[in-house]
């Protein structure tokens, strides 16, 4: 199977930056896309960003476009989420996800493997 381990979460002031990392291990050769989702207390899980593994095509939620950047390092089996100009509404648990399909997009049901989540808190 595939295991995903996230790191980089923490507390930051509004306007600051954080860089999340997600390292994949196990049967990483089955991964064709990876993405980031987030869930705030009392709210539904929402899509943040995704990237295809082979081509590096990216997709972003409108709420983070222009502020967040998703990237991957295939040699390290790692995906990153660079978060700039953070806002209090970005506060959430961020989850890394991987899919066997390159066309999973923003649909969480299409992702097969999930990380444990990492807390991002943006203070005002």
Residues 46-96 pLDDT 10s: 999 999 999 999 999 999 999 999 999 999 999 999 999 999 999 999 999
Number of other CB atoms surrounding residue 62 within 10 Å: 6
- pLDDT tens by residue, 28-51: 999 999 999 999 999 999 999 999
Contact in structure between 37 and 60 (CB atoms under 8 Å): no
**pLDDT value at position 103?**
86
**pLDDT value at position 29?**
93
**pLDDT value at position 105?**
85
Element (H, E) at 41: none
Query: Does the pLDDT at position 104 exceed 90?
Result: no
Query: Does the pLDDT at position 98 exceed 90?
Result: yes
């Amino acid at each position: 199977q595939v295991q995903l381990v996230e790191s980089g979460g923490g507390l930051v002031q509004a306007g600051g930056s954080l860089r999340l990392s997600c390292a994949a291990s196990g049967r990483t050769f089955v991964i064709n896309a990876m993405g980031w989702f987030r869930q705030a207390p009392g709210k539904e899980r929402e899509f943040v960003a995704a990237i295809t593994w082979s081509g590096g095509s990216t997709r972003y939620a409108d709420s983070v476009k222009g502020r967040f950047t998703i990237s991957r390092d295939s040699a390290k089996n790692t995906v990153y989420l660079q978060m700039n100009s953070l806002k209090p509404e970005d506060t959430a648990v961020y989850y890394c996800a991987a899919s066997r399909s390159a066309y999973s997009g923003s649909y969480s049901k299409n992702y097969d493997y999930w990380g444990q989540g990492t807390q991002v808190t943006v203070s005002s």
